[in-house]
């Protein structure tokens, strides 16, 4: 008998049309008889559609004209043409989301421009809404895989335990690039669905204590340690963002 994880892998393969005819026929027959399995299939299908729609909407809002001017001419068409509807569900649901989000979010991180990396984060964080991350959270295994992949690139140990925040739900971790430096972003939502980001950049910065500030509607708390910059940002009260930063600073 297949475990639930193995069954979900088969369901994802069905969604991506990657099963051979025999396997597809057997799974379709089971779906016709097994209501619980059918509900899991529908949940996986709907989750993929929600993720694609959320990030397609972000791409539509991105300041593409300004970014095309900032990007090298040979790179601009590729950055602008990466569209979510053609992405396989397996890529979104099985952890490749780390690379996929980088391909789009990094497009409006103003690559090639010099300046404050935190301001670059502010620019796209302003586009995030409750709907952006209104898709099911990954299971513990996938969360650990995403964090490990990002942590490897930014040079620090990112685990579900080390990034956990009180009353916050993990949503996704992915990798961006700013001014040639790896920039990891970890997205959480609070019980009301408001997003909070924990960002880590491997920029070789000198150690500096936590400082808090407000930029528009966003509250920021940032610090540097061991050659990396850290930032917590969100539309929550200043003190709550500062509390999250103090919690994470003790771990990083």
Q: Residue 27: pLDDT above 50?
A: yes
Range 156-172 average pLDDT: 96
Q: Residue 236: pLDDT above 60?
A: yes
**Cβ-based neighbour number of residue 29 at 10 Å:** 10
Lowest mean pLDDT among 176-180, 221-225, 227-231: 176-180
Query: Taking Cα atoms as reference points, which of 195, 188, 198 lies closest to residue 247?
Result: 198
Give the pLDDT confidence score for residue 170 in this predicted structure: 97
Give the pLDDT confidence score for residue 103 in this predicted structure: 45
Range 120-133 average pLDDT: 91
Range 233-247 average pLDDT: 97
Lowest mean pLDDT among 34-38, 94-98, 150-154: 94-98
CB 15 within 8 A of CB 48: yes
How much is the pTM? 0.63
Give the pLDDT confidence score for residue 54 in this predicted structure: 52
Give Cα 195 to chain centroid, integer Å: 11
pLDDT higher at 88 or 245: 245
What confidence category does residue 157 fall into, taking pLDDT thresholds of 50, 70 and 90? Answer: very high
Give the pLDDT confidence score for residue 88 in this predicted structure: 53
Ranges 20-29, 123-132, 146-155, 235-244, most confident: 235-244
Give the pLDDT confidence score for residue 58 in this predicted structure: 53
pLDDT higher at 169 or 138: 169
Sorted by where each starts, the structural domains of the chain and their CATH numbers stand as 4-249 (3.30.200.100)
Please write down the HEC assignment for all residues of the chain. Answer: CCCHHHHHHHHHHHHCCCCCHHHHHHHHHHHHHCHHHHHHHHHHHHHHHHHHHHHHHHHHHCCHHHHHHHCCCCCHHHHHHCCHHHCCHHHHHCCCHHHHHHHHHHHHCCCCCCCCHHHHHHHHHCCCCCCCCCCCCCCHHHHHHHHHHHHHHHCCCCCHHHHCCCCCEEEEEEEEEECCEEEEEEEEECCCCCEEEEEEECCCCCCEEEEEEEECCEEEEEEEECCEEEEEEECCCHHHHHHHHHHHHCCC
pLDDT in tens, 210-224: 999 999 999 999 999
Tokens for 244, please give them.
């999250």
Lowest mean pLDDT among 10-24, 37-51, 54-68, 227-241: 54-68
pLDDT in tens, 95-122: 444 444 444 444 444 433 446 899 999 9
pLDDT higher at 227 or 179: 227
Give the pLDDT confidence score for residue 48 in this predicted structure: 58
pLDDT higher at 77 or 130: 130
């Amino acid at each position: 008998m297949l475990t639930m994880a193995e069954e979900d892998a088969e369901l994802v393969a069905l969604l991506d049309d990657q099963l051979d005819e025999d396997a597809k026929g057997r799974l379709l027959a089971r779906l016709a008889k097994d209501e619980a399995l059918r509900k899991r299939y529908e949940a996986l299908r709907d989750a993929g559609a929600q993720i694609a729609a959320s990030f397609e909407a972000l791409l539509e809002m991105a300041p593409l004209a300004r970014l095309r001017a900032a990007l090298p001419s040979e790179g601009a068409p590729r950055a602008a043409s990466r569209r979510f509807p053609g992405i396989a569900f397996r890529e979104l649901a099985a952890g490749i989301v780390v690379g996929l989000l980088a391909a789009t979010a990094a497009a409006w991180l103003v690559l090639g421009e010099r300046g404050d990396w935190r301001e670059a984060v502010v620019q796209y964080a302003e586009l995030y809404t409750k709907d952006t991350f209104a898709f099911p959270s990954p299971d513990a295994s996938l969360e650990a895989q995403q964090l490990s992949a990002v942590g490897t690139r930014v040079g620090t140990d990112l685990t579900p335990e080390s990034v956990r925040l009180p009353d916050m739900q993990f949503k996704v971790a992915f990798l961006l690039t700013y001014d040639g430096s790896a920039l990891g972003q970890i997205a959480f939502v609070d019980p009301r669905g408001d997003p909070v980001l924990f960002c880590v950049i491997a920029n070789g910065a000198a150690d500096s204590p936590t400082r808090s500030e407000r930029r528009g509607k966003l509250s920021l708390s940032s610090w540097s340690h061991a050659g990396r910059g850290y930032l917590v940002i969100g539309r929550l009260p200043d003190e709550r963002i500062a509390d999250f930063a103090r919690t994470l600073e003790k771990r990083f």
